Structure 1
């Protein structure tokens, strides 16, 4: 039977009738609709006929324990959030409850505020759990291979949608690890005409400067020492498809003029050959650097920059993507849990808080590696901040005090880290990766 109430529906289970009534009264005053049960069997009967958003259950009850009820709910009602009540102050019972799938626990006796705070946290979790999977996966993962639904990512999808309908040159910008190649692939594989032809990714920094021209344009036998046979370059290999020039900022300056000519004339000539060949290749370039700054410094040609910057798609850093951080974390958790033959893990509140507050210099790539490592190193089906690197456990939210200068922000960050580590300078040094002399100087 579906939930017919405007507010969230809560089921309170406790063999103590007075406790049930007190909790029910407090929750109903706050606007929730509350059912009560005094045994696990009664609770199961209610669950079978009424949709429940949140279960609050005592730990110790006659015949069947709250732990057994949690296990039953997790086996049959994945979307219900759970709060465990325990009157024993036992960390063991709380850990056992979390292992079975509880989202929160409260130790008796508790205040009205503690109860409502825990309920508020769980209701928020409930909303996150009930994000329409079709919205997430049909509109992003299933279509473009990209997980995310924040506003600035929706703008990226809109540009992909428009760009994949033409052959314009695209310049994708963004920090390392934001997913520039994913965007490039999405553009290519949603182009009706080109998607059946090759997508050739080129890592510009990975090619020695002396081999760059040969790798891109090819060469004929005898063109230089070691050229023992004819060889096609990447442009010919990508014929009718797409050539993805990753980190285009690293293209040697002496080759930039030739690249400009290729983009303008759509023709190439192999090293050692006078014959000019027409090419039909779409160009998508990417960079994690500001090309306009490089133009001002004289290390990147302005005319090449203008030629590349026909359509610009800027990918936001992970720290600016809000709840996408948790969406991605859960996506990677499910992905690697399947690979490792594990149950999909639950995220503790501390883990979620740490994930949201961290600066993410490595962006999505760093997040993926963190989740993968956490699943490998943790024997439990829980991801908690205790397994995160120290820099995350003692992280200061990056978006505070954005009006400070870089020098002042640096000083404040050092002070905050020392404060969060309880004045433990050894731990602070490990997190900050500076020597003691520098730390003392900054503190002074």
Structure 2
């Protein structure tokens, strides 16, 4: 008799097969558990530790492939074995890609099942082919911008054409797509690199202060103005001012910005004397400025003044080739900052980072890499990855049932699976036929 005490979870929506496999495996002295659906298995996994998941592939609502993918990312230490009645190459490949160590085709003998279970448990679960240097070379970087997609190449081409020219640039794109990094690359890789670069978040300054912040003020301009103050435009003179979220600038400020662009001069708050100024303006927005112009929320004349050169940033989900170079860049950056040199990464983590849609774009990726480095002990495993990045199964939460209700539903399902053969149903449920008839009567009283 075997002395192994590994814990096995068997999942199949066919109650007869589920019971058959359960009894067969139990004879090997394993600790065995059953689930009649993937949703039930997932709930079990959340509160129990097992060594091997044995699952059918073809199941309603949530199939075996989805269950394997979920288990692989949320519980990567669990070994997996697939039972399938569809011995196609495609199913086998899909199951193995989803983390199964092996598969067995129905019908199978008890000996075949026992052999597959032993093999699955013996195979190493953590054959990590750790990445040494992940992926980035210097040609995948320009300034602080990293990537290797066509979008990255097109972006660098535009920056190289713009960087030495004192021309106004508008950068449009979703939040977190690196608009400020593009502005900094234009400035610091170009002819104005030694001159000031001033970044302004137009949405982060209170409306009643933004005008005085941008253009400065003179003593006595308002209560509390006890001295002259230099504005951000003056501080950026000769260099670049970056107006982030320019779509949030109030109409009064938009009018003054237009004057700066037209007349090349500013007028501090409280002064009647304009000051000539030479500055390159790079603006950025995550709003649709063209649409705002049509609605009257943004000045059309200002829009055309700031939009001499237009750069559109694509969301990270549309340029997946840039994810791994960015991961490499952030790992190098934060491994040094957090004093964790020689960080290595499980390839499964890299696959997960590549597949995730990144709604927060590059900024979200950067935050995740910081989290992974802090939570790792030199090797970044799937266990370190935040839950929200992992494969999710959207299943409707079942209402909690009483034991009686659960029992009644189970009887109906088992009867249905055996063609209403009460003798077989009673065997599967491990009750006698008389008890089964009583419970059927309780369910369907005459």
TM range (shorter): 0.5 to 0.7
Q: Partner residue of 1:146?
A: 145
Sort the Cα spacing of 1:265 and 1:146 in 2 relative to 1 into closer, same or farther, 3 A: same
Q: 1:195 Cα shift?
A: 1.7
Q: Partner residue of 1:182?
A: 181
SS at match of 2:268: coil
Sort the Cα spacing of 1:132 and 1:391 in 2 relative to 1 into closer, same or farther, 3 A: closer
Following the alignment from structure 1 to structure 2, what is the Cα–Cα distance between the partners of residues 132 and 355? 16
Q: 1:346 Cα shift?
A: 3.2
Q: Partner residue of 2:291?
A: 293
Q: Partner residue of 1:246?
A: 244
Following the alignment from structure 1 to structure 2, what is the Cα–Cα distance between the partners of residues 302 and 91? 69
* Contact 2:372-2:380 at 8 Å conserved across structures: no
> Aligned pair 1:374/2:350, yes or no?
no
SS at match of 1:323: helix
TM-score by length of 2: 0.59
Following the alignment from structure 1 to structure 2, what is the Cα–Cα distance between the partners of residues 424 and 349? 32
Sort the Cα spacing of 1:326 and 1:190 in 2 relative to 1 into closer, same or farther, 3 A: closer
Equivalent runs, 1:22-37 vs 2, <5 Å: none
Q: 1:336 Cα shift?
A: 1.8
Sort the Cα spacing of 1:91 and 1:180 in 2 relative to 1 into closer, same or farther, 3 A: farther
Q: 1:176 Cα shift?
A: 0.9
Q: 1:380 Cα shift?
A: 4.7
Unaligned runs of 5+ in 2: 1-117, 400-446
Any idea what the Cα deviations from partners look like across 1:3-39, whole Å, max 9, x if unmatched?
Answer: xxxxxxxxxxxxxxxxxxxxxxxxxxxxxxxxxxxxx
Q: 1:243 Cα shift?
A: 0.7
* Contact 1:418-1:425 at 8 Å conserved across structures: no
Equivalent runs, 1:283-432 vs 2, <5 Å: 283-384=281-382, 386-395=383-392, 417-419=393-395
Higher relative contact order (CA closer than 8 Å, sequence separation 6+):
2
* Contact 1:333-1:344 at 8 Å conserved across structures: no
Q: Partner residue of 1:168?
A: 167
Q: 1:362 Cα shift?
A: 0.8
Sort the Cα spacing of 1:317 and 1:213 in 2 relative to 1 into closer, same or farther, 3 A: same
* Contact 2:346-2:379 at 8 Å conserved across structures: no
Following the alignment from structure 1 to structure 2, what is the Cα–Cα distance between the partners of residues 172 and 425? 47
Following the alignment from structure 1 to structure 2, what is the Cα–Cα distance between the partners of residues 342 and 425? 44
Equivalent of residue 227 in structure 1, options 201, 207, 225: 225
Any idea what the Cα deviations from partners look like across 1:279-308, whole Å, max 9, x if unmatched?
Answer: 011111001111011112221111111111
* Contact 1:375-1:383 at 8 Å conserved across structures: no
Following the alignment from structure 1 to structure 2, what is the Cα–Cα distance between the partners of residues 346 and 388? 14
SS at match of 2:311: strand
Unaligned runs of 5+ in 1: 1-86, 104-124, 396-416, 427-444
Any idea what the Cα deviations from partners look like across 1:112-139, whole Å, max 9, x if unmatched?
Answer: xxxxxxxxxxxxx89x95x672422xxx
Following the alignment from structure 2 to structure 1, what is the Cα–Cα distance between the partners of residues 232 and 136? 42
Equivalent runs, 1:240-279 vs 2, <5 Å: 240-279=238-277
SS at match of 2:146: coil
Sort the Cα spacing of 1:425 and 1:222 in 2 relative to 1 into closer, same or farther, 3 A: farther
TM-score by length of 1: 0.60
Sort the Cα spacing of 1:159 and 1:425 in 2 relative to 1 into closer, same or farther, 3 A: farther
- Work out the number of aligned pairs and report it: 285
Task: Identify the range of structure 1 (300-309 vs 375-384) with the bigger mean alpha-carbon deviation.
Answer: 375-384
Following the alignment from structure 2 to structure 1, what is the Cα–Cα distance between the partners of residues 269 and 324? 50
Sort the Cα spacing of 1:313 and 1:366 in 2 relative to 1 into closer, same or farther, 3 A: same
Following the alignment from structure 1 to structure 2, what is the Cα–Cα distance between the partners of residues 163 and 333? 30
> Aligned pair 1:196/2:194, yes or no?
yes
Q: 1:215 Cα shift?
A: 0.8
SS at match of 1:149: coil
Q: 1:347 Cα shift?
A: 3.0
Which runs of 4 or more aligned residues in structure 1 lie more than 4 Å from their structure 2 counterparts after TM superposition?
87-94, 423-426
Equivalent runs, 1:59-138 vs 2, <5 Å: 94-95=125-126, 97-98=127-128, 102-103=129-130, 133-136=137-140
Sort the Cα spacing of 1:242 and 1:132 in 2 relative to 1 into closer, same or farther, 3 A: closer
Sort the Cα spacing of 1:292 and 1:91 in 2 relative to 1 into closer, same or farther, 3 A: farther
Sort the Cα spacing of 1:132 and 1:335 in 2 relative to 1 into closer, same or farther, 3 A: closer
SS at match of 1:261: helix
